[in-house]
Amino acid sequence: MKRYVIERNLPGIGKLTGEQLKGAAQTSNSALAKLAGKAQWEHSYVVDDKTFCVYLADSEDSVREHARLSGFPATKITPVQAVIGPLTAY
């Protein structure tokens, strides 16, 4: 499985309540269940009018299929080349 960052343009998403975000997560999980292990959601960053979602998937096609099934657009799909953090410096 390869890691992807998915940018989703979702106007107003940053103003949703916790309960509304819970519903969005449930919708995403339902779509993932239909993909039979081809994609896994790690987490998402919610900002004003977008989300940046980190997924593991067997292909970009599986990410696109999740977007179709969930109704959440995959505006931009970027494969992750490496992950670094503060400890990378040591």
E strands, 1-79, where? 2-9, 39-46, 50-57, 76-79
Q: What is the model's pLDDT at position 81? A: 98
Q: Which pLDDT band, with edges at 50, 70 and 90, does 67 fall under?
A: very high
Q: What is the model's pLDDT at position 57? A: 98
pLDDT, tens digit (0-9, with 9 covering 90-100), for 4-60 = 999 999 999 999 999 999 999 999 999 999 999 999 999 999 999 999 999 999 999
Q: Are 57 and 38 in contact (CB under 8 A)?
A: yes
CATH number, domain at 64? 3.30.70.3090
CA-to-CA distance for 55 and 58, rounded, in angstroms? 10
Q: What is the model's pLDDT at position 85? A: 96
At a CB cut-off of 8 Å and minimum separation 6, what does 75 contact?
Answer: 6, 7, 8, 9, 50
Matching residue, tokens 């080349």: 81
Q: What is the model's pLDDT at position 48? A: 96
Q: What is the model's pLDDT at position 29? A: 97
In 3D space, the residue among 28, 58, 64 whose CA is nearest the CA of residue 43 turns out to be 28
Q: Is residue 66 left, alpha or beta, with left meaning phi > 0 and alpha meaning psi from -120 to 50?
A: alpha
Q: Please tell me the total count of domains within the chain.
A: 1
pTM above 0.85, yes or no: yes
